[in-house]
Structure 1
Amino acid sequence: MKHLLRHLLLCLLCTGLIADGFAQSHRIRIHIRNLKDTILYLGNYYGSKTYITDSTRIDHQGVAVFAGADLLPPGIYFVLMPDRQHFFEMLMPPHNQQFEITADTAYLNQVVFTHSPDNEAFVAYNQFLSHIQQQLEEKRKTIHDSLQLQQLQEDVLKKIKDYRLQWIHNHPESMLATLFRGMMDPEPSPEEQRQGEKIDSLFAYHYLKAHYWDQLSLTDSMWLRTPILEGRLNRYFSQLVPPQPDSINAAADALLEKARTNFPMYKFILWWLTYTFENSPYMGMDAVFVHLVEKYFMPPARTDWLSESIRQKLIQRAYQLSPNLIGETAPNLLLRDTLQHIYQLDTIRAPYLLLVFWDPTCGHCIRQVPRLDSAWRADWQQMGVKMIGILADGTPQQWKDFMHQHHLTGWLHLYDPDNSSHFRQLYDVYETPVTYLLDAQKRIIAKKLDVEGLSAFLHHLRETASASTP
């Protein structure tokens, strides 16, 4: 899946690098002290990642030129030294891409730009940040009170905010002002704040959520070539959107609709959402991935920009996850115990069933299964949890030997000797151990949690039940 989404990203990148605007040329002349007769690289951000887009030779006088007949797509770029470790950043404005740079490999934080007001302003801003950061570090050495440190950090953030606001006020049409606006949170007017707080104690949260994207235009492809967009996406979905699949699905749909008129932006956001929620460490977020695939990848007309093989792999992954989403009824399984007695999962009764798919030859299972057994005996059993261990791999004899060696009594131990239950596909068992917690109606209420996660979840269930009892 990771390789699949990497290919998807490359597809997005190639389309996103089509230059906007009129056909104008770019010419960036760089004089670098202490370097000659070697290769210099030009790169840009694409989300939080970086890519090399061009290379040129530094001549015997230390001069290199990046030039072309077309404008480069605007964004935040970087010049990478021959060692591929040291670099300096610069802005690539929508126009005026003919300027000069003077740099010294020993002082890459003191780059000088000529004929580029945007980059002169960018350098001044970075020098300001460096200066106040240095001041902050010096003051931290003499302050040990946590409240004073917190106030000091707040003062620094205010200085940065004031700098940005002043620049926006004085140079509203500049590229740096556009970047500053996209980085800042919207703020209500004093009148809006007074009226809002009278009727809603959560006014500040609702205002921020409603206006979060006002200053970062999803129709401007420049944002694709900055790390700002991905940072804003991360914050929006981790802090402002409620962490529930239905809420995230609605927010994702609304955001994609905003970006639909800008195809490169639309594809980037769709990729980011798909990758983020398919690989989310939080339980239940795979439902968002399934929603995205069903709505945006299954209809072929919506994905004519994507290869059919990649589309089918995404669809296949969604099919693997859809039967075992949180809230779904657990797929029934027909299994046997060590004496070949047949059991159907949907006929086993208990307040809670904990399914543990495990492998006696798996190193992680060897460590975790005895811990699951101990937690069940000490705590979970009293909550009405019934344990069902299901052999996922390894031989029946290895399975029996492990159960005997570790005294795994009290569980119901089952397996599928003829592989007819399709448990791997139905429960997405492609690594072990895998756990599923079912309620009395066989609904999946938790999955793929470790011992600590299961304990926390079960105790939360008990506390919630106690609080609701009159």
Structure 2
Amino acid sequence: MKVLGSFLFILLFSTFSFGQYDIQGKIKGLSKSEVYLAHYFGYNQQVIKDTVVANEDGEFRFKGTDQLPKGLYLISFLKSKFIDLVVEEPNFSFSLDTTNILQSISFQNSPENSAFYAFQKRMNELYTAINQPNLAPARKQSLIAEVQQFQKQWKSSNSHLFVSKLIESSFDPEIPVYNGSLKDKADTTKMQLFQYHYYKKHYFDGMDLTDERMVRTPFLQRKLERFFKDLVVQEPDSIAREADILLAKAKDTEVRRYIIYKIASTYENNPILGTDGAFVHIAEKYYIGEPTLWDTSTVRRMKERIAIIKPLLLGKQFPAMYLTDVNTKEIKVGELPFKYTVVFIYDPDCSHCKQETPKLVALQEYFKSKNIGVLAACIGRDKGAWKKFLTEFKLNSWVNGIDIHINPTSNKEEYYTDFRNRFDVYSTPMVYVLDAQKKIVGKRIPVENLKDFIQYLETRRK
């Protein structure tokens, strides 16, 4: 059970409510224990709305005048046990026995939950029968047909209920039969492409993106994550295009905000190289471009974040980095004569930097054979610590720089580089890879993967 940590999200996703609620429960096997009422916010976060203590007979009551958002809730008890229930009607009651929750649970004054658990009970019975050992194939096919018939009838009978949307949103789209030829491997590939494109195009058909209650279920988050992870090419243009298609369907304000937030947060610092370009697209189009969806602090943060990330996208010219070498001579990054330049931004006092530096030194011979240079940029401004680091790790073959500049008039030290905001250095070491024209071709590459990454670049350019 988790309380949603961000006050911003509680403000953003807390409408579609009624004025008061009264939910009574009786749980056999529960005595004088705390019981929690919480609604889902995706599948891995829940927002606690009420807490009570059951009496010695397992009876308890959630009652309040505060707004209770509609959606899928859970009631948690005995630490590890919980039940899901739909909060659509403000007043209802239920009872259950902890020895067999599914078979014993019953509801009063709640058509939504009565239908919800009737569906679960029957599906459980059918799948228990299907999974029996040594089941005859004909009987298994008959039971599968019975499942399909039951689902069809249940949907028809309960189409007016929100729980019908819940059940529908948990299903995958059914792919129609492929009618093309299947004579050879090429035909099989065509069939697979047909199935993939149909599945992808219809993946969200069962999810009502106009109903804000879907935000308070586990299903929207699951579908979003699976869609963008498994069905979308992890390349910024593809991600941006699919996000635009999806958001064109998401008319409800809360659903729209949730989808925008989930996609943006997924790709802001995604480990897959280059996908931060999708974050920039989302942030510019749906945060900056739709400011009425957000509070001013969120829009301001996005503007600040874009200002940092956008100049550092793949293909961009590496921004000016003002460094001087051990002889206080200015280092001109654009004039470094390497086919590739590994920019290693570090802090001499950083323990992780001390672990990674020897790994980079070990690549020295390989780098030399490929005309690859290392520009080591120290973010600290302690010359003594910097020079000690250079000596300790024997970095004399690298281009070593520090952001310390002597003002010729005052003879005082000046600092010109804001590493955090100029190069997005929120942890060290930070690695960029530049091509011969000093354009960014890689970033945040783990040192142990640099050789493989360079080989990938070389293969791609052949």
Q: TM-score, normalised by structure 1?
A: 0.81
Secondary structure of residue in 2 paired with 1:100: strand
The equivalent of 2:358 in structure 1 is 370
Deviation at residue 226 of structure 1 after TM alignment: 1.0
Contact kept? 2:16, 2:212, Cα under 8 Å: no
The equivalent of 2:23 in structure 1 is 28
Structure 1 unaligned regions, length at least 5: 140-155
Deviation at residue 228 of structure 1 after TM alignment: 0.8
Distance change in 2, residues 1:254/1:339 (3 Å) = same
1:182 aligns with 2:179: no
The equivalent of 2:409 in structure 1 is none
CA distance in 1, matches of 2:442, 2:273: 7
The equivalent position to 2:195 in structure 1, one of 204, 209, 213, is: 204
Distance change in 2, residues 1:71/1:189 (3 Å) = farther
Pick which of 46-55 and 61-70 moved more. Answer: 61-70
1:408 aligns with 2:395: yes
The equivalent position to 2:36 in structure 1, one of 33, 37, 41, is: 41
CA distance in 1, matches of 2:31, 2:442: 61
The equivalent of 1:239 in structure 2 is 230
The equivalent position to 1:79 in structure 2, one of 72, 75, 79, is: 75
CA distance in 1, matches of 2:145, 2:364: 53
The equivalent of 1:194 in structure 2 is 179
Secondary structure of residue in 2 paired with 1:215: coil
CA distance in 1, matches of 2:451, 2:130: 43
Contact kept? 1:47, 1:230, Cα under 8 Å: yes
* Deviation by residue 1:344-382 (Cα, 9 ceiling, x = unmatched): 1111121101100011110000000110111233x3332
* Deviation by residue 1:260-289 (Cα, 9 ceiling, x = unmatched): x21111111111122221232222222222
Deviation at residue 160 of structure 1 after TM alignment: 8.5
Secondary structure of residue in 2 paired with 1:88: strand
Contact kept? 2:16, 2:70, Cα under 8 Å: no
Deviation at residue 162 of structure 1 after TM alignment: 7.2
Amino acid at match of 2:47: Y
Contact kept? 2:215, 2:255, Cα under 8 Å: yes
Deviation at residue 437 of structure 1 after TM alignment: 0.2
Distance change in 2, residues 1:5/1:66 (3 Å) = closer
Calculate percent identity across the aligned residue pairs. 28
CA distance in 1, matches of 2:230, 2:279: 19
The equivalent position to 2:448 in structure 1, one of 443, 446, 452, is: 452
CA distance in 2, matches of 1:292, 1:12: 18
CA distance in 2, matches of 1:290, 1:400: 38
* Deviation by residue 1:22-41 (Cα, 9 ceiling, x = unmatched): x6975432112344555432
Deviation at residue 406 of structure 1 after TM alignment: 1.8
The equivalent of 1:341 in structure 2 is 329
Amino acid at match of 2:16: I
Secondary structure of residue in 2 paired with 1:304: helix
The equivalent of 2:348 in structure 1 is 360
The equivalent of 2:411 in structure 1 is none
Deviation at residue 178 of structure 1 after TM alignment: 2.9
Pick which of 424-433 and 241-250 moved more. Answer: 424-433
The equivalent of 1:100 in structure 2 is 93
The equivalent of 1:12 in structure 2 is 12
Secondary structure of residue in 2 paired with 1:393: coil
* Deviation by residue 1:404-441 (Cα, 9 ceiling, x = unmatched): 12222321111110321334422112321000000111
CA distance in 2, matches of 1:388, 1:257: 45
Pick which of 421-430 and 109-118 moved more. Answer: 109-118
Deviation at residue 232 of structure 1 after TM alignment: 0.3
Pick which of 406-415 and 173-182 moved more. Answer: 173-182
Deviation at residue 91 of structure 1 after TM alignment: 2.9
Deviation at residue 110 of structure 1 after TM alignment: 5.4
Contact kept? 2:38, 2:50, Cα under 8 Å: yes
Contact kept? 2:35, 2:53, Cα under 8 Å: yes
CA distance in 2, matches of 1:444, 1:414: 19
Superposed counterparts of 1:257-268, under 5 Å: 257-259=248-250, 261-268=251-258
1:293 aligns with 2:283: yes
Distance change in 2, residues 1:8/1:289 (3 Å) = farther
Amino acid at match of 1:31: K
Aligned pairs, number: 435
Deviation at residue 233 of structure 1 after TM alignment: 0.2
The equivalent of 1:350 in structure 2 is 338
Q: TM-score, normalised by structure 2?
A: 0.82
CA distance in 1, matches of 2:116, 2:154: 15
Distance change in 2, residues 1:255/1:160 (3 Å) = farther
Distance change in 2, residues 1:33/1:425 (3 Å) = same
Distance change in 2, residues 1:68/1:407 (3 Å) = closer
Contact kept? 1:78, 1:87, Cα under 8 Å: no
Superposed counterparts of 1:409-428, under 5 Å: 409-417=396-404, 418-428=414-424
Deviation at residue 206 of structure 1 after TM alignment: 1.1
1:249 aligns with 2:240: yes
Distance change in 2, residues 1:181/1:137 (3 Å) = closer
Secondary structure of residue in 2 paired with 1:40: strand
CA distance in 1, matches of 2:181, 2:222: 28
Pick which of 289-298 and 339-348 moved more. Answer: 289-298
CA distance in 1, matches of 2:190, 2:213: 36
Pick which of 279-288 and 439-448 moved more. Answer: 279-288
Pick which of 417-426 and 54-63 moved more. Answer: 54-63
The equivalent of 2:208 in structure 1 is 217
Contact kept? 2:211, 2:252, Cα under 8 Å: yes
CA distance in 2, matches of 1:75, 1:447: 42
Distance change in 2, residues 1:165/1:286 (3 Å) = farther
1:168 aligns with 2:152: yes
